[in-house]
Structures are given as C-alpha cells and as structure tokens.
Amino acid sequence: MYIYDEYDQKIVNERVSQFRDQTQRYLDGKLTEEQFLPLRLQNGLYVQRYAPMLRVAVPYGLLSSEQARKLGHIARTYDKGYAHISTRTNVQFNWPELAAVPDILAELASVQMHAIQTSGNCIRNTTTDQFAGVVPNELVDPRPYCEIIRQWSTFHPEFAFLPRKFKIAVNSHESDDRAATLLHDIGIKIVRNEQGELGYAFYVGGGLGRTPIVASLVKEFVAEKDLLTYLDAVLRVYNLHGRRDNKYKARIKILVKALGVDAFRDKVDAEWQHLKGGPGTLTQEELERVKGHFTAPNYETLDENTELQKQLSENKAFANWYNRNVNEHKVKGYAIVTLTLKKLGVPPGDITDRQFDSVADLADKYSFGEIRNTHEQNMVLADVKQDDLFELWQQAKELGFATPNLGLLTDMICCPGGDFCALANAKSIPVAEALQAKFDDLDYLHDLGDLDLNISGCMNACGHHHIGHIGILGVDKKGEEFYQVSLGGSSGPDASVGKILGPSFAREEMPDVIEKVLSVYVRNRIEGERFIDTYRRIGHSPFKEFVYAKSH
C-alpha cells in the first residue's frame, strides 16, 4: 500500500494544527457558524441530527492493521464504541465531541490517515474493486491509478470548490464491476486498444440522488500517460459550465444531459488540446514509482489444499460460508475472504471498537496485515492461504464476521438514515433490522440466490437504493415516515436504475411487501435465474399487480 513520504506527513500534520486553531476560534466565538462551515467540511466534519459526524478517508478502501487498530481506539476513546463503513469505503464516527475532533485528527495523522476532502464540493475518495490486485481475469491492478488520482485531486486548488461533490471510480476487471463504476461522475474502465496498449475508457455523468443516471461513454480510449490531463479537461469543463444556482441541478450528470454527450465530448476535447502533452502527462518513471507501492506480498509456493475438500464435505456450515464468502485468488493456494458486517441485529456496516482490533489481528495472522473496506459495507482479507480457511472461519464466526450471507438478501446496503442523519426523511436501520429478522432462514436466502437490496433514508441515496435489485427509499408524507419500493436496479457492468413499484408503504408493512416481491420471483424464475434476470424477463407488471392486489 502507499506509504507517506516526509512531505505527505508534514502536510497532514500541518492540516491538523490548522484545524485545531480554527476549531478553538469557533468554540471561543471568534468564528461564526457560517465562517466555520467550509472549514469543518474541508476536514470531513458534518453537523448531524444529534452530534457531529466525522468521515475518515480510506483511499480505495485499503487499510493496514495498524490503521484498523487506531480506528478501534478512536471509536473506544472518542465515540460510543463503534463506527460505520460507508459505501465510499470510508469510516464514519457518529458521536464525536466537536472539541475532541482535532485530537482525533492528530491520532489519525499518526497512522497516515486524515479526513480531508471527505465532504464538501470537491473530489471525494476514489474507489475501486475490493479484490483489486488479487482476483483472476483483471487487466491490471487498478490501485496505483487510484493513488495517482488521489495525489492529483487532494488539495487540487482549481477543484476545491466545484459546483457539487465529485466522485470517481476505477475498474479493471474484464467482466465484473464491484465498484458501481457506471454510477459515478467519472467512471474509468482500464482497457487495452487493438494495438494492445494500456489506457482508459472514460464514462461521465453517472450518479444517483434525485436524478439517477447511468454514465455515458465520452472517450473510448485515453492513453495511460494521459490519465490526469484528460481528468483535468473533464473537470475544467464541469467547473466552468456546471450550474451553481441550484444544488439539485449542479452535478455533472445534469450538465452532460443538458449539453448532450456529443457536445460535452467536444468541449472536453477542445480543453484537452491545451493540456495534452503538458506537465500533467504521466511519465513512465512516475507510473513505476507509484506502482512500486503495490507490489505482491511474499506469497509462498503452495499446492491446492486437499484437506479443504474434506472439510467442506464434512461441515455444511463451513461449506455455506466458503461458497458465499470466499473468492478465487489469482495465486495458487490462496483465497480472498470477505468478512461480513451484516449479522442479525446489527445495523449494516457498523463495526465495534473490539471488532476493529479483531479484524486487525486476523489480518496480521492470515493476510499480510492488510484489510479492505467494500462498497457493500463489508471487509476483505485479500491474501489468505487455503490451508488457513477453516481456522479463520472458526475465529471469524466467534467474532461475528462469518454470517454466510454475502450477496444475499440480508447482505443489504443501508445508510444511517434518520437515526443519525439530519437530511434523512425516514429511518433506514429499523427497516433493515425488520428485514433481517423476517428473512433469517439461511436455507431460504441461499435458495433465493444473489440479490441486492439497498435502503436509503432520503433522495440523496447514500444507501444506493436506485441500483439495488430491490430498492427501498424513505419518504416523508405529512410528517410521517413511509417507504417507496423500486425494482430492477443494478450496479454491475449491465448497470440500470430501478423503476418505482407504486405508492409507498408504512414501515411495519415492509417485511410483508418484500415477501410478496420475492414470491413473484420464486414462482416465475427458471433454473439458475437470478432475481434481476427474472425481473428483466417478465417485466414490472407481475410484481406490481401482486403487491398491490387487495388480497391473496
């Protein structure tokens, strides 16, 4: 992983000192709320419903065990003993005291972490595949390119005050997309052209929120060395032409839609002519410097584990976990393990201080001391020897990390909702808990198969409800909380935005509503067909007619 040099560390330390002074002046009444607002946002600090919320940057989801222990220490010392993994793979603390935030930032800086650019109208944390660098059929490891984007975007003076927040994702897998790349302001697919040269396909104008849109292909191939100059060109066009008079119309997706993809592309190309070949061009030396931080760990030469097959055949619970939570590794004898944070009775994505310590211990023992947060609010140990899987499973089970529901209905994405967020129209967590309780039969969940269910507490869509196969959105109706259901969303290579089923439901109705939706799928599916495949084959009407029928 990338290790700070002396300049990185100095910049982060100075930022902590600067914010400590700004916070003290605010607490002393020398700065108004309006004056303090941009200063706290630049350091990841929101004012939420009950307390400040501090969002900590985890670049492309990658953590060291030392950093995970520090996050556990912060949760224990400065918060209420837990934190939340966000869909941008960051970590959020929901209960810090404002006066203590500079101390928290100093603690983070001691392990090369910060909260810079995790809020505000700037370029946010760049995300990628949680299996980057270890999964088969990947074109190249995308993490060095994410790191190059991180270094370019952090403190970029020209893009510190964009019309709205800006999100970038990078994907390098030939057939899978675990980063929802096409639902980003810029989605970058690493590709090779007909000559075998490495480069990028640029998709621009995707996003969720009030106007969900799948990104459009703006440039089919940009050479590897031109990553930053083309990014500069896209951002400059957006910064110049994006709307600032209406925040609901300010994202780049609205600009692309208003201009049309062809006209937008023309403007970017015109701007690029001023930048291409200039100082922003990546040299081979710079590419190799950054790639040098992402070399393979010291893998052993291993044979396939014959004992593993015996363990799988003799232990159904282990086999269920292995089939859902373990993925193939590109190195023989190793496996990728996902630790789920979706245990019954626990809000999706929440992790306690003790669990941070435990996952750090597991990473040190089994996976070269590295951990990855995922878009689906879980954590990954990317380099586990097959020989260690059974032992790891036993320990993960005791720690609450081994619920074998990865990719199933109860592996849901859920925002903090009205329990914490000041913007939310409705609570999300109680709906998630009710669904976890209703659908707690793992045999039934495994029979249903792959199914994405996402929950958001408002139209800002932090729970990505638009791209769940089943999406749930909290809405306000004359001061009361209701929930709208959408079907048919997808975040993969075949990305699509879900279609609203019909009028919203009361919270207590939601488990039965979802049960009806699932029953339509079960009745109509053909062998091997996922929920999203059945929905696309039979269409919206059978689901709507059954859910809204007066009686069954």
33: domain CATH number is 3.90.480.20
Q: Do 155 and 227 have their domain in common? A: yes
> End of a domain among 376, 399, 422?
399
The answer on 434 and 389 residing in a single domain is no
User: Quick one: 81 and 229 in the same domain?
Assistant: no
Q: Which residue has the higher pLDDT, 239 or 480?
A: 239
Cα–Cα distance for residue pair 66/132, rounded to 1 Å? 21
Q: Are residues 93 and 46 in the same domain?
A: yes
How far apart are the two ends of the chain, measured CA to CA in Å? 56
Nearest to 105 by CA among 78, 68, 123: 78
In a domain, 96, yes or no: yes
Residue 474 has a pLDDT of 92
Q: How many domains are contained in the chain?
A: 4
- The whole domain housing 235 covers 123-291
Q: Both 65 and 184 in a single domain?
A: no
Residue 50 has pLDDT above 90, yes or no: no
pLDDT of 343 over the 70 cut: yes
Confirm whether 417 is domain-assigned: yes
Whether 283 and 340 map to the same domain: the answer is no
pLDDT on residue 426: 82
pLDDT at res. 552: 52
Side chain identity at 446, as an amino acid letter? H
Give kind and range of the element (H or E) at residue 93.
strand 91-93
Confidence (pTM): 0.93
Do 229 and 171 fall into the same domain? yes
Instruction: Confirm whether 193 is domain-assigned.
Output: yes
In the prediction, which pLDDT does 375 show? 92
Which of 69, 86, 110 is at the close of a domain? 110
Does a structural domain hold residue 404?
Answer: no
Q: Does 367 share its domain with 257? A: no
**Residue 539 sits in a domain of what CATH number?**
3.30.413.10
Determine phi and psi for 56, rounding to 5 degrees: -100, 135
Residues whose CB is less than 8 angstroms from the CB of residue 457 and which lie 6 or more positions away in sequence, other chains included: 415, 416, 417, 418, 421, 423, 424, 425, 426, 427, 428, 463, 474
How large is the average pLDDT for residues 361-368?
98
Which pLDDT score is estimated for 551? Answer: 58
Q: Are 250 and 277 part of one and the same domain?
A: yes
Tens-place pLDDT, residues 147-180: 999 999 999 999 999 999 999 999 999 899 999 9
333 lies in the same domain as 447 = no
Predicted local confidence at residue 347, as pLDDT: 85
Out of 265, 291, 317, pick the residue that ends a domain: 291
The per-residue pLDDT for 49 is 67
Decide if 491 is inside a domain.
Answer: yes
What is the SS3 assignment for 390?
A: helix
Q: How confident is the model at residue 84 (pLDDT cuts 50, 70, 90)?
A: very high
* Shared-domain flag, residues 423 and 354: no
**Which value, in Å, is the radius of gyration of the alpha carbons in the chain?**
23
Q: What is the pLDDT of residues 215-235, one digit of tens each?
A: 999 999 999 999 999 999 999
458 assigned to some structural domain: yes
Q: In the predicted model, what is the mean pLDDT of residues 394-402? A: 94
350 and 387 housed in the same domain: yes
